[in-house]
Amino acid sequence: MLATCLRAAGLTLALGLFAGTVTAKTIEVKNSSVPLRVTTVAEGLSNPWSLAFLPDGRMLVTERSGTMRIVTAQGEKGPALSGLPDIVSRGQGGLLDVVLAPDFATSKRIYFSYSEPDPDNSKANSTAVAHAVLNGDKLENVTRIFSQQPKYESTAHFGSRLVWNSDGTLFVTLGDRYGAMQDAQTLDNHHGKVIRINADGSVPADNPYVNTAKALPEIWSIGHRNVQGAALHPTTGKLWTGEHGPQGGDELNIDEAGKNYGWPIITYGENYGGGKIGIGTEKDGMEQPVYKWVPSIATAGFIFYTGDKFPQWKGNLLMTSLRAATLARLTLDGDKVVDEERLLQKEVGERLRHIVQGPDGYIYLVSDESNGKIFRLEPAK
């Protein structure tokens, strides 16, 4: 009875009961520019990494442990989908991003990224991208279309956000693999790069380095550390990316063809525990970030909000973060960030991995926890 009364009053329930602590599924957030209601749609997911809405309103969810499953709008978790390739689920590696093909309504095809093992070296791996046909609880006709080269002995910095360009090409963000950070400045490897490929994995003829000797033709931009967020600007159509710095120096960039974003030559971060990296924060021929975070918040997925449920936030960039356990709302004036508001640190307090604008116009968040959750944000009435 007490719990019912508290829920009716719109308060967070956190009552210690004989069997443990029970927490209400809905939280009211008053101290924000827009009063919010945060509802836990689903929980019990194993470090979920990405979410993509299916046309019928169900959600396709990846778990870093190597599982993909469908979650209903009511939060019911379906069985693990069969048919996934071999995946290295260690450290930051595992099953990562997932997006629907632009023609999913007819093709039923999905695209996903994952940490791919090296058949000749059990310690080596790299980011790969595959597509498959979704058929009930099965993935069929699984086809790998990209494999980051060379493979490397590391369990960190896989990057891995997938973004469809307006021309039907696919952007794939990649990490520097942590121990190979100098590779981010050379064109003979995929480490620390953003790449652009066609839907079948072939190379677009207008990629910036297709006619450059000894350059890998998939490369779009270079000088990245670990890009785990990316989205197209709804007005300009340009690719924006969010990049993990080391100890400080997270970056938001406008990612353009043939540009060099500096890592590890220039950075606003420093080595873990202190110590300079590179030559400083600027160098001719290297791009400056649109926005940066010092100290780091560990940026992850982001969106440009275009819906009508939060009219005050229309055109804002909403960035999830891991270390700071916050949702950063950035107000833009053209290509400049003019204000930042941080949300949900106290009310949710979980590592936020990904964000999606749902077909209903509400905002959905995924928490990267062993008991990972899907949250829905709505304006509080």
* Residue 102: alpha-carbon gap to chain centroid: 19
Contact assessment for residue 79 and residue 130, using Cβ atoms and an 8 Å cutoff: no
Closest CA to 32 of 368, 359, 355, 316: 316
157 catalytic residue (yes or no): yes
Residue holding tokens 């080595």? 271
Contact assessment for residue 268 and residue 294, using Cβ atoms and an 8 Å cutoff: yes
C-alpha–C-alpha distance, residues 112 and 37, integer Å: 31
Q: How many CA atoms lie within 13 A of 140 on its CB side?
A: 8
Tokens found for residue 193: 């790069």
Contact assessment for residue 360 and residue 376, using Cβ atoms and an 8 Å cutoff: no
C-alpha–C-alpha distance, residues 16 and 122, integer Å: 46
My answer on whether omega of the bond before 55 falls inside 30° of 0, hence cis, is: no
DSSP 1-29: -HHHHHHHTTPPPEEEETTEEEE-SEEEE
Contact assessment for residue 359 and residue 351, using Cβ atoms and an 8 Å cutoff: no
Residue 260 falls in which region: left (phi positive, over 0), alpha (psi -120 to 50) or beta: beta
SS (H, E, C) 50-67: EEEECCCCCEEEEECCCE
Question: Is residue 107 within a helix (H) or strand (E), and if so which, with residue range?
Answer: helix 104-107
Residue from 131, 157, 191, 354 carrying the catalytic annotation? 157
CA geometry: angle 328, 357, 304, nearest 5 deg: 50
CA distances from 134 to 93, 155, 253, 368 (A): 23, 28, 33, 24
Q: How many CA atoms lie within 13 A of 40 on its CB side?
A: 17
Catalytic residues, which ones? 157
